[in-house]
Amino acid sequence: MYACVYRPSAPDRLLPQAPEPGARAASSPPPEFALDRLARDYSPRYEMDGADAVVLDVTGMTRLFGSPRAMADEIRRDAASRGARVQVAMAGTQTAARLLARAHVGVTVTLAGDEAEAVASLPLAQLSSLNAQGSTLKAQRSAFDLESAALSVETWTRWGLRTLGDLAKLPPADLVSRMGRAALVWQAMARGEDIRPLVPSLDEERFEGTFELDWPVEELEPLSFVLTRLIEPLSTRLERRDRGAAVLHVVLRLITKEIHARRLELPSPMRDVRTLRTLALLDLESHPPSAAVDRVTVVIDPTPARVLQHTLFSRALPTPEQVSTLVARLGAVMGQDRVGAPQVVDTHRPGAFAMRAFTTDHAAGEAGRPPGQPSPPLASALRRCRPPVPARVAVDAGRPVRLTTDRRGFAGGTIVRCAGPWRTSGAWWAGTAGGARPHALAWNRDEWDVALSDGAVYRIFQDRDTEGWFIDAIVD
């Protein structure tokens, strides 16, 4: 059983001075009327139908409110006591309830199975009113082009149809042959049939907690107990809603009345209390507040929880909670700009890269490749030496023939093959004031790829300004 509460947009929708019989007397002006608040008092399952109507699933509510007629009367009296005049319709389908609530003033009750007969006398314009609301037909627009001119109400009016009953009586096969399968949606609505299930409206849930401290806290250790007390109930609510934390906000009010706010973007949805607390503490350790704290607020931006599928014959990878905690601890020790994932930058400077925040992406493969697509075979890779290793190179006829170095772990010997040179330079324009010495990022070099007699392959270069030789990378 469904109930539709419709609030007309006419100027006289507000009540006159004398309330209706049975309405509760109010000693003060009623608050602003809201249909969702009214619907929430009668059913946990309701759907807003535009700004002026709401549909309630009242199945099983007769034990609380009595017969459908009694329940409809109670809803109308309750709305009247809140300062609004509404039209209420009860029917076995939500479509019939929507049509009848907009068509009849007062209360209309239709038993289950009589929906087609109840809406048969309504004018065709009622379908246009439902389409204007958008909620009833929105779900069908992907399968049916309901906004085409061939399916407008004016088309059936030119055919001589006047009521919904006239449209319902048309042979479905002939109607489809003339106007397409989309016409069946209109005809089903003209019979009062539902074309989709009720989609309950859900209130936006905010995951937030605040704790007022009895005395200011300056150290992080006592603050950890406060964070645990705030995060534990939020984690429980996330688990009940099958949600995870995508962003963790920690807002601290200082005794100086300033606000110290931190925002942590988590690489994967998580709701483990110890992990969230540890990440928050490590971030506050790297960015401590400037004064003592007297109020702590934790806000979580939720996201759908992740689904894990483990394999039987391979070792489980570290969980996102473990990886996030490790990255946060490394960032606290080494610095936030020294921990992350390397990213190629748009420059010709050898070995240049940037650091970005470490995140996991399950939607795409490596380097944005679609999932399931095999990676191309890797021909070779460079392991950069940071800083470059000094070396001594013998040159014959302009080509390196022998390489030696004092650095342990690097081979030396005769060069059996070589390729080059590749001359590169850059940042020469960014010299220091007066041009006394080049900029720290400037380079001017000749690069070679060399293969030694013992099988080692290096990339070496000669600095053209100092004429020194260096091993820049190992070729694997």
Distance from C-alpha of 244 to C-alpha of 359, rounded to nearest angstrom: 16
Average pLDDT value for residue range 106-126 = 88
Distance from C-alpha of 215 to C-alpha of 226, rounded to nearest angstrom: 12
- Say which residue the tokens 């003033």 belong to: 105
Kindly list the domain boundaries of the chain, sorted by start residue.
2-190, 207-304, 382-431+438-475
Nearest residue to 350 via CA among 475, 228, 446, 212: 446
Distance from C-alpha of 6 to C-alpha of 54, rounded to nearest angstrom: 7
pLDDT at 380 over 70: no
At 438 the pLDDT is 57
Contact indicator for 201, 48 with CB cutoff of 8 Å: yes
At 318 the pLDDT is 65
More confident of the two residues 380 and 330: 330
- For 256-282, what is each residue's pLDDT tens digit? 989 999 998 887 788 888 888 888 888
Task: Report residue 33 as tokens.
Answer: 């009327």
At 244 the pLDDT is 86
Q: What confidence category does residue 464 fall into, taking pLDDT thresholds of 50, 70 and 90?
A: confident
More confident of the two residues 393 and 19: 393
Helix axes 125-133, 183-190, angle to 10 degrees: 110
Render the burial of 46-61: b for 16+ CB within 10 Å, e for the rest: bbbbbebbbbbbbeeb
Average pLDDT value for residue range 55-82 = 88
Task: Report residue 37 as tokens.
Answer: 């608040």
At 316 the pLDDT is 64
Q: What confidence category does residue 138 fall into, taking pLDDT thresholds of 50, 70 and 90?
A: very low
Nearest residue to 245 via CA among 225, 266, 229: 266
Q: Is the pTM of this model over 0.85?
A: no
- For 27-52, what is each residue's pLDDT tens digit? 443 455 788 888 888 888 888 888 88
- Say which residue the tokens 């002026």 belong to: 52
Render the burial of 180-209: b for 16+ CB within 10 Å, e for the rest: eebbebbbbbbbbbbbeeeeebeeeeebeb
Could you give the percent of the chain with pLDDT greater than 90?
Answer: 10
Instruction: For the domain covering 207-304, report its CATH number.
Output: 3.30.1490.100
Q: In what order do the strands lie in the sheet with 107-109?
A: 46-48, 53-57, 2-6, 87-91, 107-109
Helix axes 183-190, 94-103, angle to 10 degrees: 70
Distance from C-alpha of 16 to C-alpha of 23, rounded to nearest angstrom: 13
pLDDT at 361 over 70: no
Average pLDDT value for residue range 355-367 = 55
- For 400-455, what is each residue's pLDDT tens digit? 888 888 888 787 888 888 888 888 888 777 655 555 555 667 788 888 888 888 88
Q: What confidence category does residue 362 fall into, taking pLDDT thresholds of 50, 70 and 90?
A: very low
What DSSP element (H or E) covers 221? helix 220-240
Q: What confidence category does residue 88 fall into, taking pLDDT thresholds of 50, 70 and 90?
A: very high
- For 336-353, what is each residue's pLDDT tens digit? 667 777 777 777 777 777
Distance from C-alpha of 116 to C-alpha of 92, rounded to nearest angstrom: 10
More confident of the two residues 433 and 122: 122
User: 3-state DSSP: the chain helix, strand, coil percent, rounded to 5?
Assistant: 30, 30, 40
- Distance from chain centroid for Cα 459: 45
- For 207-263, what is each residue's pLDDT tens digit? 888 988 888 888 888 888 889 999 999 988 888 888 888 889 999 999 998 999 999
Average pLDDT value for residue range 85-113 = 90
Residue 297 CB coordination number (10 Å): 17
Q: What is the DSSP-derived secondary structure letter of residue 147?
A: T
Average pLDDT value for residue range 193-205 = 80
CA 19, 25, 31, 37 dihedral sign is negative
At 131 the pLDDT is 52
* 3 state DSSP class of 260: strand
At 299 the pLDDT is 92
Distance from C-alpha of 49 to C-alpha of 91, rounded to nearest angstrom: 16
More confident of the two residues 254 and 186: 254
